[in-house]
Amino acid sequence: MHADIAALEADFDAVEQDARALLEGLDESTGGWRSAAGTWSVAECLDHLATANTVYLRAMEPNAARALARGRLRRRPALPGLVGGWFVRSLEPPVKASTRRKAPAVITPRVAPPLADAARAFFASHQAVRAFLHRYAGTDLAGVRFRNPFIGVIHFRLATGLHVLAAHERRHLWQARRVRDEALRAAAA
């Protein structure tokens, strides 16, 4: 396995461990708790990630499959380009007020989804991301582009898309961890 693919795999392993630790001992009430109107609960963070992963993969898959069918093999490491790298870094936690964005409507989480349902959807979408990485690891991930599903005029490399997904998951798990901690403090008060 190439070092860049192994690093992405390790990123997704760490995200999965973080998500499982986040959910450990969390009940439906705490998982659905919000600090204020307009904020997201842990369940809503997971629901958002599940939807975003699915939408992003749907945009990436046709170009990756076409590249694989045409024999476009890996030429260089699966790393984001200059603009893509900046975008990935902007998603990383801790989230600063200057990097906060409103989620596009298509990936806004359902209101108050059951925690167990949101967690199942997240882990299923996360496994789909990992399957994509494995399926296309030998493809020219750094050369094949796809249209960003949220900003249609931007085309990212498939490698950038994978790094975006990992950073986006880290961002919202960081958010969910903060919500969980706040919910536990409020319950103890």
Q: Determine the pLDDT at residue 15.
A: 97
Query: How many percent of the chain have pLDDT more than 70?
Result: 99
The residue that leads in pLDDT, 34 or 99, is 34
**pLDDT tens digits, one per residue of 134-185:** 999 999 999 999 999 988 888 999 999 999 999 999 999 999 999 999 999 9
Q: What is the mean pLDDT of residues 18-47?
A: 95
At position 86, the amino acid (one-letter code) is: W
Domains and CATH numbers, the chain: 3-188 (1.20.120.450)
What does the alpha-carbon distance between residue 141 and residue 88 come to, in Å, rounded to a whole number? Answer: 16
Q: Give the predicted TM-score (pTM) of the model.
A: 0.94
Q: What is the mean pLDDT of the chain?
A: 93
What does the alpha-carbon distance between residue 69 and residue 63 come to, in Å, rounded to a whole number? Answer: 10
Measured CA distances, 53 to 78, 97, 131, 161 (Å): 18, 23, 12, 10
Q: Print the SS3 string covering 87-153.
A: HHHHHCCCCCHHHCCCCCHHHCCCCCCCHHHHHHHHHHHHHHHHHHHHHHCCECCCCCEEECCCCCC
What does the alpha-carbon distance between residue 36 and residue 175 come to, in Å, rounded to a whole number? Answer: 14
